[in-house]
Structure formats: structure tokens, C-alpha cells
Amino acid sequence: MMDFMAVDLRPLYAVLVTMCAAGLIYVLGEHVKPNVREGITLLAAVLNIIVVYSLIPVALEEQVLDAAIRLDVFEIVKGVSFAFKVDSAGMVFACVASTLWLLTSIYSIGYMRGHGEQNQTGYFAAFAMCVSATMGICFAANLITFFIFYEVLTVSTYPLVVHYRDKEGVKSGRKYLAYTLISGQIMFAGIVIVYAVAGTMEFTPGGFLTEEMLPMPWALIVFFMMVGAGIVKAGVMPLHSWLPSAMVAPTPVSALLHAVAVVKAGAFCTFRVVLYVFGPALAKDCHGADILAWMAVATIILSSFIAMRKSNLKARLAYSTVGQLSYIILGICILTPYSTAGALYHIVAHAFMKITLFMAAGAIFVTTHKKDITEMVGIGRKMPYTMMAFSAASIGVAGFPFFVGFVSKANIIMGAIQMGKGFFVATLIASALLAIAYLMPVCLIAFKKNVVNPEFEEKGDAAPAMLIPLIITAIISIVLGIAPNAGLHLFDLAVMAGNSIFTPLM
Amino acid sequence: MIQNLPVLIILLPLCAALLSLLLTRINRNLSKYVLTLAVLASLVLSVYQLHLVVTEGTIHYTVGNYQTPYGIELVIDSLNALILVVIEIISFMTVLFAENFGVKRKVVQGGARALIGLLITGLLGMTSTGDVFNLYVFLEITSLSAYCLIALGGSRGVVAAYKYMLVGTVAATFYLLGVGILYSATGTLNMADMKDILSQGVYDDVMLVSMSFLTIAFGIKMALFPFHGWQPSAYAHAEPGTRPLITGVMSKVPALAMFRFFYMIYGTDFKYMKLLLVIIGILSCLGMIYGSVFAMMQKDIRKILAYSSVAQIGYISLGFAIGTPIALAGAFLHMMGHAFMKGGLFFCTGAIRYKYGTSDINDFGRIYKQMPLTCGLLTVAALSMIGIPPTAGFFSKWYLASGAAENHQWIYIAVLVLSSLLNAVYFFRLIEKVFIQKSAGLKERWKSEVLELPFTIILPIVVCFVAILGIGIFNVKIIDILLMTLEGVGL
């Protein structure tokens, strides 16, 4: 046990604020007015943002002096404590998740009410629980703490996936559980083995496993046992198929699943395992990173082609997510400081861009009940702001300069050039063109002049609760593209994380 | 008073049980109060005893001051003390819970209470005793009262009880044979004494023979695969009020006794120990998979839970088979966690049956709206069975897997993972039924404005809920207490 007065408890607060909110919403939800219930969500979101933002200076000074916050709450299993640590990599993810939770919450309120959804209490409670688990994942200092929150995230996302309680929902819920639980249990076995051979579970920049601990065939097996859980959630092919099925959930859930919490947690899991457990040296020597990089390359290209053929807007965005997440995986597996920083920054970039796209898709659905791209001819006239935001985010996903997607992609490409991986560079550039090919038609159709659907003649954009968050995220993706460091120093943090991992090697 | 603590804990429920029939003649409710108070007092004493054992070390108590090895000795080490507390908690809650069910005829009512009291006495005695023959006596008290309690569960209960009695008698006889062989070789019945004599190493063959008898005896009693034949129907058709005690604790105590024989009497130096552990390990692995596969095929929730117990007992015996102190601690953590999980799940099914009169999971559609607390426990217990953190089930699995990794028994880790996933299949199906499936429009048998259920059902549900999470989150405290005893015992 520890002296709770003397240490900085902020990482713990970040987890507890949202967890308490989840509990309060679940218990009180049916007994108070919806406004009070949503008030709890928003209050928790604001508090969470305050806590997380206040930690940024700590993370920035991580290397200057020994200012990093480390918090051993209690012994969770014999010999290992339940510990939190604020480091630059976790901070980047935490900032994204907390910022987007507030925006998604506002959007959810507009969406759920605009759409007259059932079971809203359970929805908001599970949503808050997901964010709480994500905060835990960001600040976890060792594998077991990480894994606990990772499994909590898996379980608390399940009610969101089956939200509609219909046949299709149950089916995709089962699929989701099958993928995540199996990979999670295999990761559990991996963690046990790592702990048995290394005697520690503490995340260390540059990894703590060495080849003496895990000789070659074992290193590769354990690598994939551990990374498996990450790449399932991050939707790397061939383990991606739960992600498009989870589209049956309400759009804010898709936004959360696809842009903020779940898939990014998967990418972050891969990040921690490859760079903080195995470390660049062992990941390279056991060929795990190479194999994973090629899987990511295949995913990037294949998913773009599949996305092109989908005419349901959300399905197209889902496959775009699958491809974009593999950028992160590829960035991690190139194993250079640049590409690592790029991968980490792509968590930020993709989160803001993709959430804009999903929110726009949801806004279109609530306002006009259109799901299919072919039905959206001329929709830009009815909903100009929504579609402008959508177009901005699309261009960002394609990686145009002055959009946030460019910053991260450029860094990954620089890393690939540094390692002399020409094919990776070519893939990244080709996928940018493919992204234009599958997203720009939507924008062009939306603003088409001639054949305008008569019902779109009249102006009538989405309700403000939906419109404002998506415009904000669109603006942020442009601002961060011009000044990657604006506001939260996220780019600096990503670069710091990249450097801290590779310093011991150079 | 204080120095008689170990025996008082056993005597209190025994006296209440023996007085029960008489008191029921005076007043219908009198025996209920006496039994409840006796078990509560016993619970308080056992908690105090745990405190004493942790601070001052193992208690050796000689009954009636007849010196060992001739007299009967009660040995309370930190392991026993902890298990005693768990038994007492489940017992106390079952005593409260059982009053909502069961027969209303005066004579049978008094008898049923007496049987519950005797079952509790037997379980407590088996846990505390340090004498192999005394263990047999308590084993028989437990078994006989369990046969009757199972038979009280209606006509199918009678058949199940008869089946259990046939097999159970074989088990008791085998135990007696095993002990007899050891007694003829060593001339003592005291466990510690027997260990000293056996450790000379000249009795290896005798020990091997008695060991085969004992393994089968305990295997039957704890329903270890493939000796579990009696168990599913007995668990499913037992008297509904006492089911949590029968399913949650009754099969765990023989497991503890088995551990005592293998590790504390035979000791790890025993020549055939490795062989024994491998056999137990294989049986556990098969049981874990077999139990889960059969649980998947059931429709009646009681049968699902019963087959799941076959799988879960496999976790405990797997811990014994791995044999490192950490794995043994994991096995006992699982024993405690599972008592609350399985007990809790049977409290839930009892509660649902009490309110709606059904046990078919296809009728459970969206009952969470009417029974949020019950469904909360159902969910937490199910997650704990699967082993999702931060519930008790996750941490016991962690220690078992850590122990297996220490010994390089990778296959056991693989089986643990597989078993969790199989558990997930049927427990998530249950969760789906409760939360997602369309409501079956059941009629409530019991209605109230304030509570979803009577207080005596709510209390066990809340206690189990807290215990599952508490044992999970604060598992290190428990592991520390367990290791005080297990450190020197394991491999």
C-alpha cells in the first residue's frame, strides 16, 4: 500500500472519473431525466479532459528530469503492482481519446435523440466505461495493468455492438467476441510466458526482452501471441472481419469503435508490445516485425480495393479504417524513430479525420435516412457544412499537404526511406491515390450540379448537436495539418516517444 | 473459551442441527432462528480464528485433551482457516436463502434444517481435522446429509440422490480401504504422525496401493472427471434452497482433503508423486474440456452450471497437478472464488425460479429489467468463470498459468486458454438470453414495490457480487495468507 497523499494521483483520476460516471449513469439512468443523465456524461468528459490536459507538461518533461509520474496503486498479482505511468506515447493516445469523447458525447446526444433510440442509458454507461478502459490502457505501466483494461474494453464494447438487440446485432456481437476474446486469451498466455522468462512486466522504451530469454522459434511464437490481440482490434487482414460487421451499431458507436477507443487501443497494444516489450532489436531479429509489416502492406492495398466496391457509406468508411490502421502498424514495424513518431501521430490524425467522416455519415443518416452513396447525389446542397467537413476529412485521409494525414504519413515514409524499404514507400503513395479513388467520388457526387435529387433542393443541415462536433473535428484536422504541435504538443510527444525508444540503440 | 475455538466452530452448527427437530415442535420458526444464529456465531468465530492464525501461526487443538497421536487433533493452518471462513459465509447465506424454498410441513421443515446444519458441520469438520479417520467420519456426515438434501428436491431429486448414494458409498469404502492400508503399515491415524513415518521411504508400494484407492475416493467426492457421473443430476435436482451450499462448497472440501493427503501426508518426496501428478493433470485437462462441451449442449440452466462445475473442479485439480506453491495458491484461490461464483449463480437461478418459476434459459429474455441485481451478479459471475479481469476467476487462472509456465508445462496453459474460451461460449449465450432476447412475458410470483426479491435472497446475491470482485482485486492478500502454509509444501 502507498501513501495516497504524497503522490500524484491524476492518472488514477482519469480512469476513475469516467468509471464513476459509467456507474452513476447505469444506476441512476432510468430514474432521472435524460438531461441529467447526459449532464453526467458531459461533466465527466470535461473533468476527464482537464485531468488529461493537465498531465501534458509532465509528459513533456519526461526526459528533462525525472518528473514522470509513476503510481503503484497496490499489488495486483504476487510480485507485480497495479501501476500507472504517464509517458509521451500514452499521453498522445489519452489526449485524443479524452478530446474526442467530449465531442462524440455531444454528437451522441444529438444522434440518439434525433433518431429516437432505445436503451440510451445502457448506451451512455457502456460508452463511459469504454473511455475509462481506454484511459487505463493509455496510462498502464505494465502488461498486467494493460491487459486488465484491455479486457474491460472488450467486454464493455460488447453492449454497444449489440445495441439494437436484433438478430444482426447478436450475430455481429458474437463475431466481435469471438475475435477479441480468442486473441485476448492467447495474449494472456503470452503475458504469462513473458513474465515467466523475464520476471518483469514493466513497459520499457526499447523493450525488456532479450534473445537469451526467448530463443528464436519461441520469440516469434510469443511475438504473435502477444501482438495478435492488438492486430485483431486494429483490424489487420485477415483478422479484420469483425470490424465491418460491427457497423450494425448506431453511428456514434461506429465512430467510437472505428476512430477512437477500440481500434486505436488495438494499434496502441501493438505499439506497446513491439516497442516496449520486445523492443526494436528483438522484434527485428525474430522477423516478427517484418512479417507484420508485410501483413500491414497487404491490408492497406486490399482494403482500399474493397472500400471502392462498397456502396454503403459506413461500410466504405469501415474498410478505409481497416486500411488506415495498417499505416500505424506499418509505421511501428519499420522500426525507426521517424516512422514510430509517424505511427503515433497517425493515431491522432486518423482519429480526427475518421471521426469527422463517421459523424458526417451519421448526420446524413439521421437527417435524410440515406445510407447508400448512390442515393446521395446532390446532398451537398441540403447539408453544405456537413459535406464540406466530410470533403476536408477525405482529403486529409488521402494525405494532402496541410492536412493532418500528411504529417503522419510523411514521417512514416521518411522512416521507410531511411531503412531503404522502397516497396513500403510505393505502397504508402499508392494507397493515398486509392484513398482519393474511394472517398472523392462521395464528395463529387454530393456536390454534383446537374442531376439533383429534388428533395435535396431545400436547405436543411444536421441538428447543431451533431453539426458542431463534426465541424470542430474537421477544423482540428486542418489546424493540426498546418501546425502539428498546435495546442497540445502532440507532435512533440510523438517524436519524444520515438526517440526514447530508439536512444538506447544509437 | 478462546483456546477451544476450533472445536466451537464445528460444535455450534452441530448443536443447532441436533436441536432442530425438537425446537420445531415447540415453534415452527424457533429452529430457524437457532440455526441462523449458530451459523452466524460460528462465522464470526472463524473470522477471528483466521486473524489468530495469520498473526500467531498454526493452531493445534487436541479434542478432549487426549494427546496425539492417540486422540483426535484439529489442525488449523492458514489454508484451513481461510477455507473455513469461505464455507461459513456460503453456509450462512444458504441458511437464510433456503427459508424461501422447500417444504412447508412442520416435521420435514425441522428435518431439513437439521440436515443443513449437519452438512455444514461435516464440511467444517473435514476442513479442520488433522486425523484421517476423523476425516472419514465427517465425510460420512457430509455425504449422508447431502443425500437427504438432494432427495428433498422432488421425485427427480430422489433418483439423483440414489445414484449419488451408490457412487458415494463406493467412494467412502475406497477411502476407508486406503486409510486402512496406511494404518496397517504405520499404526497411526494422525496426519502429521503418519507423514513422519511414511517419509522414511520404506512404504512406497503400500503408499502406491492406498493412493489409488484414495484418488478414486476423492475423485468421486469432488466430481473429478471421469468420476463425475453422479454430479450433474444431483446438482440440478437438489433441494433448491440448499443448492448453493451443495454446488459451491461440497465438492471443494474433498479437494482440500485430497491436497492434504498428496502434499501433506505423502509429501513431494514420494517416489510415485510425479506419476500421480501427471495422471491428475491429464484428468483435469480432459475434465475441463469435457465439462464445458457438455455444458454447451444443455438447455436447463441448472444442468449448464452443473457441467460447468465438472470443468471448474478441473482448474483446482490442475493446480494440484502443477504443484508449485504459486499454482497451489492459484488452485485454492479458485476454490474460494468458485465457491462464490457457482454459489452465486445458483443463488441467481434460485432467485429467478422464486420470482418466475422457471429454469429454462429460453425463458430468460430481458429479465434484467425486472431483476437488475440478480442479472448483475449473473454477469459478474459468468465473466469470472470465463476469467475476465478484474474478477476472481482471472487471477486464479493467472496463478495457475504462472505455475505451469514455471514448470514449463505449456500444454496446461493451452488447456486453460481453451477452457476459458469454451466457457465464454456458453456463458455469453446466457448473458445474451438475459439481456438481449425478447422477453418471454413471464408472470411474477412475487411482487414488491421496493425490492426485486425478499431481503434474504438479495443479501446472498450482493455478498457474492462483492466477494467475486473483492477476491479478484485484493487477491494478493489471500495469496499471501495461503503461501504461509503452501510455501514449504509444494514442489
All cell numbers assigned to B345: 449463480
**Least-confidence region, from A183-197, B92-106, B200-214, B475-489:** B92-106
Say if residue B353's pLDDT is above 70: yes
Query: Which residue is closest to A147 within chain B, CA to CA?
Result: B389
Do A192 and B405 make contact, defined as CB atoms within 8 angstroms?
A: yes
Asked if the C-beta of B183 comes within 8 angstroms of chain A's C-beta atoms, the answer is no
Tens-digit pLDDT profile for residues B435-471: 888 777 777 777 766 677 788 888 999 999 999 999 9
Tens-digit pLDDT profile for residues A148-176: 999 999 888 888 888 777 888 888 888 88
- Average pLDDT of the segment spanning B35-39: 91
B60, β-bridge pairs: B75
Other Cβ atoms within 10 Å of B201 Cβ, number:
10
Tens-digit pLDDT profile for residues B255-296: 999 998 888 888 888 888 888 899 999 999 999 999 999 998
Tens-digit pLDDT profile for residues B71-84: 888 889 889 999 99
In this structure, chain B runs to a length of: 491
Q: Which has more confidence, B316 or A8?
A: B316
Identify which of B404, B417, B476 has the shortest CB distance to residue A188: B417
Judge whether B233 and B160 are in contact, CB under 8 Å.
yes
pLDDT at B169: 92
Which residue of B436, B474, B478, B479 is the best one to mutate when testing the A interface, meaning the one whose CB has the most A CBs within 10 A? B436
Distance from CA of B491 to the nearest CA of A (A): 17
Identify which of A76, A182, A193 has the shortest CB distance to residue B421: A182
Query: How many contacts, defined by CB atoms under 8 Å, are there between A and B?
Result: 78
Distance from CA of A420 to the nearest CA of B (A): 39
Closest CA relative to residue A124, chosen from A32, A14, A253, A33:
A253
Spatial distance between the Cα atoms of B16 and B37, rounded to a whole number of angstroms: 9
Query: Which residue is closest to B326 within chain A, CA to CA?
Result: A78
Tens-digit pLDDT profile for residues B361-390: 888 878 887 788 888 898 899 999 988 888
Query: Which residue is closest to B424 within chain A, CA to CA?
Result: A181
Say if residue B204's pLDDT is above 90: no
- The distance in angstroms from the start CA to the end CA of chain B is 38
Tens-digit pLDDT profile for residues A103-150: 888 888 887 777 777 777 788 888 888 888 888 898 888 888 999 999
Judge whether A312 and A240 are in contact, CB under 8 Å.
no
Say if residue B25's pLDDT is above 50: yes
Distance from CA of B393 to the nearest CA of A (A): 13
Do B413 and A155 make contact, defined as CB atoms within 8 angstroms?
A: no
Spatial distance between the Cα atoms of A3 and A10, rounded to a whole number of angstroms: 14
- Average pLDDT of the segment spanning A4-32: 77
Judge whether A383 and A363 are in contact, CB under 8 Å.
yes
Spatial distance between the Cα atoms of B425 and B300, rounded to a whole number of angstroms: 16
Distance from CA of A382 to the nearest CA of B (A): 38
Q: Which has more confidence, B69 or B190?
A: B190
Tens-digit pLDDT profile for residues A244-285: 887 777 777 777 766 777 888 999 999 888 888 888 888 888
Do B428 and A193 make contact, defined as CB atoms within 8 angstroms?
A: no
Identify the band that residue A62 occupies on the pLDDT scale cut at 50, 70 and 90.
low
Q: What percent of chain B has pLDDT over 70?
A: 98
Mean of all residue pLDDT scores within chain A? 82
Q: Looking at chain A from residue 129 to 168, which residues have their Cβ under 8 Å from any Cβ of chain B?
A: 144, 147-148, 151-152, 154-155, 159, 162, 165
Spatial distance between the Cα atoms of B363 and B356, rounded to a whole number of angstroms: 9
* Neighbour-count burial of B96, counting CB atoms closer than 10 A to its CB (0-12 exposed, 13-18 middle, 19+ buried): buried
All cell numbers assigned to B408: 514449463
Identify the band that residue A1 occupies on the pLDDT scale cut at 50, 70 and 90.
very low
What is the predicted ipTM? 0.88
pLDDT at A7: 66
- Average pLDDT of the segment spanning B235-253: 87
Identify the band that residue B104 occupies on the pLDDT scale cut at 50, 70 and 90.
low
Identify the band that residue B26 occupies on the pLDDT scale cut at 50, 70 and 90.
confident
- Average pLDDT of the segment spanning B138-142: 92
Tens-digit pLDDT profile for residues B107-127: 677 888 889 999 999 999 999
Say if residue B158's pLDDT is above 50: yes
* Neighbour-count burial of A428, counting CB atoms closer than 10 A to its CB (0-12 exposed, 13-18 middle, 19+ buried): buried
Would you call B190 helix, strand, or coil by DSSP?
strand
Spatial distance between the Cα atoms of A494 and A337, rounded to a whole number of angstroms: 10
Where helices occur in B129-190 by DSSP H, the ranges are 132-151, 155-186
pLDDT at A363: 84
Asked if the C-beta of B451 comes within 8 angstroms of chain A's C-beta atoms, the answer is no
Identify the band that residue B88 occupies on the pLDDT scale cut at 50, 70 and 90.
very high
Spatial distance between the Cα atoms of B346 and A250, rounded to a whole number of angstroms: 35
Q: What angle do CA A333, A338, A341 make, to 5 degrees?
A: 80
B62, β-bridge pairs: B73
pLDDT at A487: 74
pLDDT at A2: 47
Do A196 and B402 make contact, defined as CB atoms within 8 angstroms?
A: yes
In this structure, chain A runs to a length of: 506
Would you call A140 helix, strand, or coil by DSSP?
strand
What is the 3-state composition of chain A as percent helix, strand, coil, each rounded to the nearest 5?
75, 5, 20
**Least-confidence region, from A344-353, B93-102, B106-115, B183-192:** B106-115
Judge whether A134 and A151 are in contact, CB under 8 Å.
no
pTM for the full model?
Answer: 0.90
pLDDT at B283: 92
pLDDT at B102: 66
Do B383 and A148 make contact, defined as CB atoms within 8 angstroms?
A: no
Closest CA relative to residue A403, chosen from A317, A498, A351, A475:
A475
Judge whether B267 and B199 are in contact, CB under 8 Å.
yes
Judge whether A204 and A505 are in contact, CB under 8 Å.
no
